[in-house]
Amino acid sequence: MFLLRLALASLANRRFTALLTVFAIALSVCLLLAVERVRTEARASFANTISGTDLIVGARSGSVNLLLYSVFRIGNATNNIRWDSFEKLATHRQVDWAIPISLGDSHRGYRVMGTNEGYFDHYHYGRGQSLQLTQGERFHDLFDVVLGAEVAEALNYKLGDKIVLSHGVATVSLQQHDDKPFVVSGILARTGTPVDRTLHISLEGMEALHVDWQNGVPARGAGKVSAEQARHMDLQPKAITAAMLGLKSKIATFAVQREVNEYRGEPLLAILPGVALQELWSLMGTAEKALFVVSLFVVLTGLIGMLTAILTSLNERRREMAILRSVGARPWHVASLLVLEAFSLAAAGVVVGTALLYAGIAGAQGYVQANYGLYLPLSAPTPYEWTLLGAILAAALLMGSVPAWRAYRQSLADGLSIRL
């Protein structure tokens, strides 16, 4: 133990350099851990978004594309699918339940989704959890809207508030549907999925919004249809964007998927969400690995900086070593002093780096959640993270052996008066 105290006392003598070294290592450790955390949380949040849905059906584009716009509300659909195609799916003998969804509108940057009651019954996420309402109830009236938790919090909406929906999916919309305001009828509990960032209206409400938009622009004059008039019109949707299906038997999945893909009525695509998610991850996998390797090199740079600092100080400390030798220290004492020094610097760097990480997460949590939909928890380090930290300390020990070896050789040769 006295060796450790000696090492720390020696470091205290050079505290400015030591602090800089610790800070460099701390930053690199923080970067490595942050990259790992964001990567793991992003994967977890993707995996958690949907569960229990056997097939997702949409217009024929690509499997990853369909998954992204139907489940994650990223990107846009290329085409819609006809209502009668959806009805054929819903009444198929192997299909247990079918949820229609309709996309294309937004409200202050949050996407609006038209669907039916089945969504609240059958949509599951995480480990088979279903959607719960914290306030109010599902949409009953034509112009009711149910908000996701994030939307209600960020925009400060309560039950009964009137909302005007906008056309298109940009954050700032130039075209509003202000003749048909919607009323908040319910607010959903937080799920940690894109559901939180969505406003849910009925399919008929979606039709009512666009009943006088037949040419892609709002009608003027006599063509205008007011909210009251819309109520009395036939609001059966003619097309929807996508559908989520649950099958009676999982073994039938491939057969139904094949049937949908071969359907001659219109070009459709059916995907298995699990498989499409795997394809998405294999796309991102290369980028993730590259990011990890870069962070590892940054940590290596920090450790080499520590090595450089110790080596350059070695020459000035030859007298210090000689004095220690003269009071009875053996050469291996001197060597282990240096190894301990390297270890203490790295340990301090790791501790400060981890503290920086948690401080960073605590500070940026809200911002990241609001802008990227990614929730970073303040949880204890995982076994994998402990392994990474342990490996960094082991590397520091190895690096410490280089100046230790030099000091060992020098202390054998030096007397009290150093010939420089």
Partner 1 sequence: MRRVLLTALLLTLVSPLWAADLRTLNWQELIPKDAPPQVPQMTPMHDMSQLGDALSEGGAASLQQFPSAPVVKEMDGQQVKIPGYIVPLDVTEEGRVTEFLLVPYFGACIHVPPPPSNQIIHVTTELGVLLDALYQPFWIEGPLKVEHSSSELAEVGYQLAADKIYPYELPAN
At position 363, the amino acid (one-letter code) is G
Verify binding: residue 48, partner 1, rule CB under 8 A. yes
Least CB distance to partner 1 at residue 248 (A): 7
Verify binding: residue 255, partner 1, rule CB under 8 A. yes
8 Å CB contact between 45 and 150: no
8 Å CB contact between 119 and 195: no
Verify binding: residue 279, partner 1, rule CB under 8 A. yes
CB atoms within 10 A of CB 57: 26
Q: How far apart are CA 187 and CA 321, in angstroms?
A: 70
Q: How far apart are CA 410 and CA 382, in angstroms?
A: 43
When binding is defined by CB under 8 A, the residue of 2, 12, 16, 93 that contacts partner 1 is 93
Helix (H, G, I), strand (E, B) or coil at 199: strand
Candidate segments 29-37, 217-225, 266-274, 351-359, binder of partner 1 by CB under 8 A? 266-274
Compute CA 119 distance to the chain's CA centroid, rounded to the nearest angstrom. Answer: 24
- Site residues for partner 1, 28-47, by CB under 8 A, read 43-45, 47
When binding is defined by CB under 8 A, the residue of 165, 208, 277, 345 that contacts partner 1 is 277
When binding is defined by CB under 8 A, the residue of 90, 164, 252, 311 that contacts partner 1 is 252
When binding is defined by CB under 8 A, the residue of 79, 214, 229, 249 that contacts partner 1 is 249
| 271 versus 329: smaller Cβ distance to partner 1 | 271
Q: How far apart are CA 79 and CA 288, in angstroms?
A: 32
Least CB distance to partner 1 at residue 258 (A): 5
Q: How many residues bind partner 1 (CB under 8 A)?
A: 37
Candidate segments 72-80, 155-163, 258-266, 290-298, binder of partner 1 by CB under 8 A? 258-266
Paired tokens of 34: 């942050």
Q: Are strands 239-240 and 81-82 parallel, antiparallel or unpaired?
A: antiparallel
When binding is defined by CB under 8 A, the residue of 183, 189, 272, 393 that contacts partner 1 is 272
Q: How far apart are CA 60 and CA 77, in angstroms?
A: 9
Verify binding: residue 261, partner 1, rule CB under 8 A. yes
Verify binding: residue 190, partner 1, rule CB under 8 A. no
Note the residue count of the chain: 420
Verify binding: residue 385, partner 1, rule CB under 8 A. no
Least CB distance to partner 1 at residue 266 (A): 7
Q: How far apart are CA 56 and CA 114, in angstroms?
A: 16
Q: Any idea which residue has 């503290």 for tokens?
A: 355
| 222 versus 251: smaller Cβ distance to partner 1 | 251
Q: How far apart are CA 387 and CA 393, in angstroms?
A: 10
Residues that bind partner 1 (CB under 8 A): 43-45, 47-48, 51-52, 54, 93-94, 126-127, 248-255, 257-259, 261-266, 272, 274-275, 277-279, 281-282
